[in-house]
Amino acid sequence: MTQKILGVLGGMGPLASAQFMLRLTLLTPASRDQEHIPAVLWSDPRVPDRTKGKLDGGEDPLPWLLRGVRGLKAAGCGAIAIPCNTAHGWYDAMAAEGLPILHIVDAAAAELRKAAPRGTIGLMGTAATLRMRLYQERLETQGWTCLTPSDEEMATRVTPGIGLVKANRVAEAYAPLAEVVASLAARGAQAVVLGCTEIPLGILAGPHETLPVPIIDTIDALALASIAWAKG
């Protein structure tokens, strides 16, 4: 009973959390149950909207996030993965609880190095994630230049696409989200980071293999970082 236990702070949204658990399982090199990673999923969709909380004066999600962190700590978890990008806007306050948190931007950067080691990349995410510069500040210090969608693309494609996934209308989300990937590629992006865990679900619902540049799925990136932590 000494194997590391991963805590997963989820529910933001619940489908992204379920996809994370699926990918964590499928990406783990295992041949039997006992070789997989012990994990505790705390999936609480009642956490107030992170974008509204950060940008629009909505209810503060931090008390809910801390409740989850403390619950996972009490369950004996050794580290936490959060399959929600915008929630990392409260990273420092959550990390202050004393449990290591695997940062999703660092996980994405590790995968981005394989696709575009340097240069110009595209970045998609919620309005709050982009406004907080969660990705830009970390990636630009490592040699990448970040392109983001225009205000019009955010309002008419990215934000509605994320909303479609949250409403379980995943297939409908592909077209608007893929259009923004193509737009970023046309502006010079060598790869596009899908910096909201709903976006990969929408992109994978369509012919993503036809997209003009590599995409960095932050769900997969976080799952791989979690596997590395557990195996390390």
Which amino acid makes up residue 194? L
pLDDT value of position 173? 98
pLDDT value of position 186? 98
All structural domains of the chain: 6-103+221-231 (3.40.50.1860), 105-218 (3.40.50.1860)
Give the torsion through C-alpha atoms of 208, 180, 175, 154, to 10 deg: 140
The CB-based long-range contact list for 36-40 (8 Å cut-off, 24+ gap) reads: 37/4, 37/6, 37/226, 37/227, 37/230, 38/3, 38/4, 38/5, 38/6, 39/5, 39/6, 39/7, 39/8, 40/5, 40/6, 40/7, 40/8, 40/72, 40/75, 40/76, 40/77
If you write DSSP's letter for every residue of 102-124 in order, what string do you get?
A: E-HHHHHHHHHHHH-SSEEEEEE
State which residues of the chain have pLDDT below 50: 1
Which amino acid makes up residue 217? D
Q: Contact 94/66 with Cβ under 8 angstroms?
A: yes
What percent of the chain is predicted at pLDDT more than 90?
98
Q: Is 4 helix (H, G, I), strand (E, B) or coil?
A: coil
pLDDT value of position 111? 97
pLDDT in tens, 57-101: 999 999 999 999 999 999 999 999 999 999 999 999 999 999 999
